[in-house]
Amino acid sequence: MESIRVLCIGDVVGEPGQALIARHLPKIKKQHAIDLTILNGENSSNQGRGITPKIAQDFYANGVDVITTGNHIWFRREIYPYLDEQPHLLRPANFPSGAPGRGVTILTIKGHAVAVINLQGRVFMKELVDCPLKAADSLLAYLRDKTKIIFVDYHAEATSEKEGLAYYLAGRVSGVVGTHTHVQTADERIIPGGTGYITDLGMVGSLNSMLGMQKEAIIQHFLTQLPVKFTVDANPPYVLSGVIMEVDTRTGRTIKIDRLRIIDEQPVENA
């Protein structure tokens, strides 16, 4: 049986997250014999929202193959033309068709076509995106004759919505990984039909923060309900989290899924 090993990394937050990817990703890929790396980069700018072409290029240089995003993709306007130019930087496919970029890409891994789909949820999310389930159906119809190896980054808030999409797609895709909440869940598993699943990959950023942001201002907001400025937390220790899936190239089914969680105590430069 031939298989490929796929690394999915949770939301990268700010300069600390960028630095951790540069520090750890090449070693992780070598240690775990990774064939494909998918990373969510929608929070990777220095402000903790959005991504720039320079940051995307740095991710590619450090071994990332596909960058997925979510609702914060539109925060940095300089990314708009780059989304149209770069096929492996995705935005959620269920945004209106007039939005820049694309929500699916196909690349060749070990001689096999592999597709990556990016979708966004609707529960507790303010964006008026199309139904993610119907969008998934449309994309799978497009991919039907192209590949059986398909991964979905579902950028959503509600656990129930993430599980719902995973069971809806069970047996039709290789893996569904949740992003957006930045808290790694302990429910990685292979659901019926051979689809690897985890509710949330977690994040890459400061561990003792609130979703990668300095906690003091956020707690003050909870106390007063007054608006505050969110600032990326640059303090160690840091966390890098995600999952590794092994997929049978003949069937497109996941045969193994493991959580990845690295704690790094060393300060990062320029953060």
Active-site positions read: 72
Report residue 164 as tokens.
Answer: 């719902």
Indicate the Cα dihedral angle 155, 159, 163, 168, nearest 10°: -60
Distance between the two ends of the chain, CA-based, in angstroms?
A: 44
d(CA 57, CA 61): 6
- Tokens 């096999």 belong to 112
Q: Which residues pair with 107 in a beta bridge?
A: 114
What is the rounded distance in angstroms from the CA atom of residue 263 to the CA atom of residue 208? 11
How far apart, in whole angstroms, are the C-alpha atoms of residue 215 and residue 238?
15
H helices of the chain, in order, are 14-31, 53-61, 79-85, 132-143, 159-169, 215-224
CB-based contact 216:246 (threshold 8 Å):
no
Helix-, strand-, coil-residue percentages of the chain, each rounded to 5: 25, 30, 45
Rg, the chain, Cα only: 17
